Amino acid sequence: AAAATPPGARTVRAARGAERTAKSWGAEAAKRMLMNNLDPEVAEHPEDLVVYGGTGKAARSWEAYDAIVRTLDELEPDETLLVQSGKPVGVFRTHEWAPRVLIANSNLVGDWATWPEFRRLEELGLTMYGQMTAGSWIYIGTQGILQGTYETFAAVARSLDRASLAGTLTLTGGCGGMGGAQPLAVTMNDGAVLVVDVDESRLTRRVEHGYLDEYTADLDAAVARVVAAKAAGEALSVGVVGNAAEVFPELLRRGTPIDIVTDQTSAHDPLAYLPVGVAFEDWKAAASADPEGFTVRARESMAAHVAAMVGFQDAGAAVFDYGNSIRREAELGGFDRAFAFPGFVPAYIRPLFAEGKGPFRWVALSGDPEDIAKTDRAVAELFPEDAALHRWLDKAARQVHFEGLPARICWLGYQERHLAGLKFNEMVASGELSGPIVIGRDHLDSGSVASPYRETEAMADGSDAIADWPLLNALLNTASGASWVSLHHGGGVGIGRSIHAGQVTVADGTALAAEKIARVLTNDPGTGVMRHVDAGYERAKEVARERGLKVPML
Ligand code: NAD
């Protein structure tokens, strides 16, 4: 409703094409990517500057947004803009190799790093929750997590000794910005999936964007559809409107034949998880009227939700946490077996991290989908032996609907990413592509994050909570020539539970860009290999030796 629109809110869409209004492509790219994060096709709640992940924002306020855009347009090619939790706070003279933007979001000193203190400071207008790629301007819509989710479900199939998920039924919760990738990731693996979300508008959106086949408010009808699909070995995704804390226990009680269970509700923030007994329409008002009381209720519901997940595991299902800290919240809600099932990183992803592999992504600033088709072909040609990569690129080209600027996600590792980046830069220089390419990644990467309930859960040497690694990653990317670098706290799993860094580098076709790309896209995944060598992973040691990474004490 118009009356509810916050002051200053407007519809944002990034400019397309090869003409820029900023004085460098570094500044122009940062501006377009900030705008793209807030494009209504991309952001979950753009009117509130919320991009994804509960309340992950791109700028602190609409005033701050305007000031960032204005400053980026005026920024000289040898200046750097500093952004403090979504607000532009200073411009400094640096040099052409330096990032055009340096961003620090949501950071708090250890003893103060709690949600209540964060909210108190946010209320005072002093900070903002940046999630991972929301406040660092490299969110690319639901596709951003799709390949990771697709590969995770492929690994689940292998762990069940199956060639695919055909003939299995997956149950999950949360169909928001990231969770919305789950239904398509399961059907890309040929499985059947039921996804529960309290917000019907999120299910509608996923159907519109091709991530979900269908949805209903009728649980019996939804179950009948997915159980039939499982029996027929068909790929089908069905959404059901409901509260996961009620639906999961109900399906367990009924003995529904579910093989795989996970969840991606926004459990990392108890105010972004709807407790049983609070009506959907009353959610925001109830959370702001009594955040502490709401938190207690949300955690009680998460305890019931996770107890059902453990119940499915006891009954023989494959169950894993999908990176939203729901186990810890359920434990705080009084359920003491919450950690009975593993997180997805130690269960399925860590071997990839040991090779520096992670969610590498790129965006065509031209706005032309044909540019992404050309880069897809270039990447396939660069890595002719990588069957999994080819399978992904084929499926993505056919099944992924672009949200905002055309983009591609593709997990590549150490000594691979820079080859792709340099190739893209050549294609920009030769005119084969119709505009520059922005190259970045999620903060969920091999060397850029400390997060003991997610990326660094159960490290071999017990170094889960050591947060020097993401700081070193950010410093190195700054020193290597990235176009913008960010250092955040609290993404994915919530305040107090993670520290992580991001980098984005622009391929504008110049020789200088090639120099920067060669360094950043080698060094950035290199820190992932280094981190896993240090923790004692044999695969990381092999990769370091084979691919020439210098680790003084290896
Ligand atoms: P989002 O806020 O866009 O979506 C969350 C969804 O959960 C919403 O649609 C909401 O309606 C729904 N929800 C809330 N309470 C519910 C309940 N009780 N029952 C059913 N549905 C409920 O968030 P997102 O971007 O989709 O992220 C989801 C979670 O995953 C977050 O905690 C985020 O930090 C985490 N995350 C994980 C990864 C990963 O790689 N595994 C990556 C990014 C984010």
264 is in an annotated binding site: yes
* Residue 173 CB–ligand 1 contact under 6 Å: yes
pLDDT band at 2 (very low <50, low <70, confident <90, very high): very low
Q: Ligand 1 pocket, 179 CB below 6 A?
A: yes
Mutate to test the pocket of ligand 1, among 132, 140, 149, 178 (most ligand atoms within 8 A of CB): 178
Q: 552: buried, middle or exposed (CB in 10 Å: 19+, 13-18, 0-12)?
A: exposed
- The verdict on whether residue 53 carries a ligand-binding annotation is yes
pLDDT, tens digit, for every residue of 291-334?
999 999 999 999 999 999 999 999 999 999 999 999 999 999 99
Candidates 449, 227, 457, 450; CA nearest to 320 is 457
Nearest CA to ligand 1 atom 41: 323
Write down the pTM of the prediction.
Answer: 0.95
User: 239: annotated binding-site residue?
Assistant: no
pLDDT for position 7: 86
Q: Is the CB of 144 under 6 A from ligand 1?
A: no
Atom of ligand 1 nearest to the CA of 148: 40
With a 6 Å cutoff on the Cβ, whether 436 touches ligand 1 is: no
User: Does ligand 1 come within 6 angstroms of the Cβ of 245?
Assistant: yes
Average pLDDT over residues 352-363: 96
According to CATH, the topology of domain 28-141+354-554 is Urocanase fold (3.40.1770)
Flag whether pLDDT at 473 surpasses 70: yes
The DSSP code for 360 is: E
**Which atom in ligand 1 lies closest to the alpha carbon of residue 131?**
34
> With a 6 A CB cut-off, is 427 part of the ligand 1 pocket?
no
Residue among 216, 214, 162 at smallest CA distance from 184: 214
Give residue 550 CA to ligand 1 midpoint distance, Å: 39
Q: The domain 143-341 belongs to what CATH superfamily?
A: Urocanase like domains (3.40.50.10730)
Burial 310-338 (b: 16+ CB within 10 A, else e): bbbbeeebbbbbbbbbbbbbbbbbebebb
Beta strands 169-173 and 260-261, pairing class: parallel
Whether residue 527 has its Cβ less than 6 Å from ligand 1: no
Flag whether 36 is marked binding: no
Q: What percent of the chain is predicted at pLDDT more than 90?
A: 97
Q: Domain spans of the chain?
A: 28-141+354-554, 143-341
Give the whole-angstrom CA distance, residue 237 versus residue 264. Answer: 15
What DSSP element (H or E) covers 79?
Answer: strand 79-84
Task: Write down the mean pLDDT value for the chain.
Answer: 97
Bridge partners (DSSP) of residue 36 are: none
Is residue 506 within 6 Å of ligand 1 at its C-beta? no
Q: Which tens digits make up the pLDDT trace of 166-178?
A: 999 999 999 999 9
Question: pLDDT digit string (tens) for 206-227?
Answer: 999 999 999 999 999 999 999 9
Q: Which of 12, 410, 428, 449 is catalytic?
A: 410
Which pLDDT tens digit goes with each residue over 127-162? 999 999 999 999 999 999 999 999 899 999 999 999
243 has binding-site annotation: yes
Is the Cβ–Cβ distance between 159 and 33 less than 8 Å? no
**Percent of the chain at pLDDT exceeding 70:** 99
> Do the annotations mark residue 445 as ligand-binding?
no
Q: Which residue puts its alpha carbon closest to atom 9 of ligand 1?
A: 176
Q: Check residue 201 and give its pLDDT.
A: 97
On whether ipTM exceeds 0.90, the answer is yes
Distance 322 CA to ligand 1 centre (A): 10
Cα distances from 82 to residues 67, 99, 294, in angstroms, run 12, 10, 35
pLDDT of 289 above 50: yes
Q: What is the pLDDT of residue 5?
A: 79
511-539 tens-digit pLDDT: 999 999 999 999 999 999 999 999 999 99
Q: What pLDDT is attached to residue 388?
A: 86
- CA–CA gap between residue 307 and residue 446 (Å, rounded): 31
pLDDT beyond 90 at 1? no
Q: Do 435 and 364 contact (CB within 8 A), yes or no?
A: yes
Q: Which tens digit of pLDDT belongs to each residue from 379-393?
A: 999 999 998 899 899
Instruction: Inform me whether the pLDDT recorded for 40 exceeds 80.
Output: yes
Could you tell me the distance, in angstroms and rounded to a whole number, from the CA of residue 174 to the centre of ligand 1?
5
Residue 175 annotated to the active site:
no
